[in-house]
Amino acid sequence: MKISIAILGSPYASQSAHTALNFTKAAVSSGHDVIRVFFYHEGAYVGNQFNTPPQDEFAITQQWSDFAVKHGLELIVCVASALRRGVLDETEAKRYDTKSDNMAAAFQIGGLGQLIDAGLSSDRLVTFSA
């Protein structure tokens, strides 16, 4: 089965990103094809490389990055959501003349068209809200 994931909840104010990661791991290990993971609204914060939880807490950004690299997953952060929350890749940082970018490894900026495409290309679009 082809599955796409949409994450709308903040990484540390809700369980949506953590639950979605567990769901995605289970889907991949069961042989399902994960087309795309899309971070929207507060979910855009997951893509911030400066997320630094205490050492005894779950590092959700790093966990998503590591899993995506290992399994070749596409992690897309909505550009409008990201810009509103100060999460910028190198291109957007240059465009807005900011001092630096802060997009985590394995994440990339994209638009809502990619969410629509993911939904059309998948058998299921699973949404994890706040």
Task: State the catalytic residues.
Answer: 78
Are the CB atoms for 37 and 108 separated by under 8 Å?
A: no
Q: How far apart are CA 78 and CA 58, in angstroms?
A: 23
60-71 vs 16-29: helix axis angle to the nearest 10?
20
Contacts of 55 by beta carbon, 8 Å cutoff, 6+ apart: none
